[in-house]
């Protein structure tokens, strides 16, 4: 591929993007979206209650979040290709091993291994690669496009695996997931992926230099980022944002049922398709967007409006408003974390910082749905939970607004210059 890459009629970085979309769709479809199918199928097969089975997948999610900073740091030091190579074999092995589980402890152990190995494949590896292969606004657009794979996992891979499960059982679907991951990720890691453009004799897209962007652009170390108030504002904003996202997606069908609306699952599916189909064109919009924090604020506001409207009205107008704002606004959701991190802290230590942010923001995805369900049990209504989710989205936007002010402040810009992110002229302007 090294010999062919310079002859491509387009920059080779776009091949990396396509590989990321396909790989992320396989991983997300086989380890995230399909869980809803596994819970019922495995509980019925084992004869256990739903709670015991859900616990196995929740433990896996916790492990996936906790290991993120270490995986990110390892990728910063040794590149993403090695992780992808190991993960493309390790995760299929874990999936196949889990498919042979006949007792609950085996399911817990197997899915824990699946979740740990999933961190080798998504989301950090391909996001990290994009930060090396693209520069400037082209990087923003590419980060948006590569997240399309997550939506494809739900819209394309999930129906396929659900059909396999209906025909051959959850064990066959799990093995099929492993084969899909092995083929897509393994092929990409062996024949497509290179950690940096200079490994293939190329320069990053948007640059004319063969020097690595992490050297040219620099960036905060993870310890420096942790000492910055911007890090905590960004992380807490993402915690609140994904708390609302995860909670509404998990509870919306029951919300509609409680209002006598029987097509909640269909309405949710419509928003999922809107997100998937709109994500590519919206990613191209990022070529013209320079104020990433302002974009994040607008997205948070769109989700606050969508959720708040349902509290006020579940009539045709309310549901239509929710579909539009939740669908189109939510299309930007997976892009926010890498966009905010690279804008605030640069690319040199993107992997480690991204892992730390994800570990913090993950807490919201655990607390939000459980808290919402408890409030419903107490009040027999989703008015309070959904009102709180809407307020959380608005607060996330406020945190990012404060962050946008701080990163333009003298203190943050001076630290950025010391880490190679800004030149002295820009710092002088800030002071």
pLDDT at 216 over 70: no
Q: Using an 8 Å Cβ cutoff, are 37 and 164 in contact?
A: no
Which pLDDT value is given to residue 217?
66
Give the domain-ending residue among 163, 198, 233: 198
> Which pLDDT band, with edges at 50, 70 and 90, does 159 fall under?
confident
Q: Dmax over Cα atoms in the chain, in whole Å? A: 68
Which pLDDT value is given to residue 422?
59
Examine the domain organization and report whether 317 and 381 are in the same domain: yes
Which position has the token pair 């996330």? 396
Examine the domain organization and report whether 249 and 380 are in the same domain: yes
Within a domain: 309: yes
**DSSP type of residue 13:** H
pLDDT at 285 over 80: no
Query: Which among 34, 89, 81, 22 has a CA at the least distance from the CA of 60?
Result: 34
Which pLDDT value is given to residue 209?
59
Within a domain: 1: no
Which position has the token pair 């911007």? 230
Examine the domain organization and report whether 194 and 237 are in the same domain: no
pLDDT at 193 over 80: yes
Examine the domain organization and report whether 338 and 395 are in the same domain: yes
| Portion of the chain with pLDDT greater than 70, in percent | 94
Alpha-carbon span 350 to 346, nearest angstrom: 7
Alpha-carbon span 305 to 110, nearest angstrom: 40
Examine the domain organization and report whether 228 and 113 are in the same domain: no
My answer on whether omega of the bond before 123 falls inside 30° of 0, hence cis, is yes
Which position has the token pair 């989700």? 303
Within a domain: 205: no
Within a domain: 16: yes
Alpha-carbon span 186 to 332, nearest angstrom: 28
What does the mean pLDDT of the chain come to? 88
Examine the domain organization and report whether 387 and 238 are in the same domain: yes
Count of C-beta atoms within a 10 Å radius of residue 324: 16
Within a domain: 351: yes
> Which pLDDT band, with edges at 50, 70 and 90, does 231 fall under?
very high
> Which pLDDT band, with edges at 50, 70 and 90, does 33 fall under?
confident
Answer positive or negative: Cα dihedral of 95, 97, 98, 99: positive
Domains identified in the chain, total number = 2
Alpha-carbon span 252 to 307, nearest angstrom: 10
Residues 373-387: tens digit of each pLDDT:
888 888 989 899 999
Task: Provide long-range contacts, Cβ within 8 A and 24+ apart, for 110-115.
Answer: 111/56, 111/57, 111/59, 111/60, 112/59, 112/60, 112/63, 114/31, 114/60, 115/31, 115/59, 115/60, 115/61, 115/63, 115/64
CA geometry: angle 323, 328, 331, nearest 5 deg: 125
Examine the domain organization and report whether 230 and 299 are in the same domain: yes
What's the whole-number mean pLDDT along residues 63-74? 91
Which position has the token pair 């129906």? 159
Within a domain: 283: yes
Range from 240-249, 277-286, 420-429 carrying the lowest mean pLDDT = 420-429
| Portion of the chain with pLDDT greater than 90, in percent | 52
Which pLDDT value is given to residue 214?
58
Answer positive or negative: Cα dihedral of 157, 159, 160, 163: positive
Which pLDDT value is given to residue 210?
58
Domain assignment of residue 380, given as a range: 222-430
CATH number reported for the structural domain that contains residue 124 in this entry: 1.20.1250.20
Within a domain: 214: no
Which pLDDT value is given to residue 1?
66
Mapped onto helix, strand or coil, the DSSP state of residue 346 is: strand
> Which pLDDT band, with edges at 50, 70 and 90, does 423 fall under?
low
Query: Which among 148, 134, 108, 171 has a CA at the least distance from the CA of 18?
Result: 148
Examine the domain organization and report whether 255 and 112 are in the same domain: no
What's the whole-number mean pLDDT along residues 176-194? 96
**Higher per-residue pLDDT: 362 or 102:** 102
Examine the domain organization and report whether 53 and 172 are in the same domain: yes
pTM higher than the cut 0.85: no
Alpha-carbon span 53 to 56, nearest angstrom: 5
Half-sphere exposure of 343 (CA within 13 A, CB side): 26
């Amino acid at each position: 591929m090294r010999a062919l890459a310079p002859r491509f009629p387009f920059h080779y970085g776009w091949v990396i993007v396509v590989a990321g979309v396909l790989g992320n769709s396989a991983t997300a479809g086989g380890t995230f979206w399909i869980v809803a199918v596994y819970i019922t199928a495995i509980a019925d097969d084992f004869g256990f209650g739903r709670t015991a089975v859900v616990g196995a997948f929740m433990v896996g999610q916790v492990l996936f979040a906790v290991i993120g900073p270490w995986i990110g740091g390892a990728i910063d030091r040794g590149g993403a290709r090695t992780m992808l190579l190991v993960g493309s074999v390790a995760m299929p092995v874990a999936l196949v091993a889990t498919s042979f589980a006949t007792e609950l402890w085996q399911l817990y152990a197997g899915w824990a291994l699946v979740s740990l190995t999933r961190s080798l494949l998504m989301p950090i590896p391909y996001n990290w690669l994009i930060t090396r292969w693209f520069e400037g606004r082209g990087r923003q657009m590419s980060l948006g496009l590569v997240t399309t794979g997550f939506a494809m996992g739900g819209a394309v891979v999930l129906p396929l695996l659900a059909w396999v499960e209906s025909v051959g059982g959850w064990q066959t679907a799990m093995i099929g997931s492993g084969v899909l991951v092995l083929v897509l990720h393994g092929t990409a890691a062996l024949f497509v992926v290179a950690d940096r453009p200079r490994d293939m004799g190329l320069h990053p897209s948007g640059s004319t230099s063969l020097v690595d962007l992490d050297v040219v652009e620099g960036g905060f170390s993870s310890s420096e980022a942790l000492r910055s108030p911007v890090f905590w504002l960004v992380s807490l904003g993402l915690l609140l944002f994904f708390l609302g996202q995860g909670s509404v997606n998990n509870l919306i069908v029951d919300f509609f049922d409680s209002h006598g609306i029987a097509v909640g699952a269909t309405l949710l599916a419509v928003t999922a398709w809107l997100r998937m189909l709109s994500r590519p064109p919206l990613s191209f919009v990022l070529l013209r967007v320079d104020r990433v924090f302002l974009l994040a604020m607008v997205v948070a506001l769109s989700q606050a409006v969508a959720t708040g409207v349902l509290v006020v009205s579940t009539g045709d107008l309310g549901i239509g408003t929710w579909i539009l704002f939740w669908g189109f606004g939510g299309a930007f959701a997976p892009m926010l974390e890498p966009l905010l991190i690279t804008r605030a802290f640069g690319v040199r230590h993107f992997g480690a910082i991204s892992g730390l942010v994800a570990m913090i923001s993950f807490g919201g995805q655990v607390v939000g749905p459980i808290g919402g369900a408890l409030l419903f049990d107490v009040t027999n209504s989703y008015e309070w939970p959904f009102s709180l989710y809407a307020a959380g989205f608005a607060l996330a936007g406020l945190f990012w607004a404060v962050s946008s002010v701080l990163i333009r402040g003298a203190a943050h810009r001076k630290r950025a210059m010391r880490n190679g992110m800004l030149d002295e002229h820009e710092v002088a302007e800030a002071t």
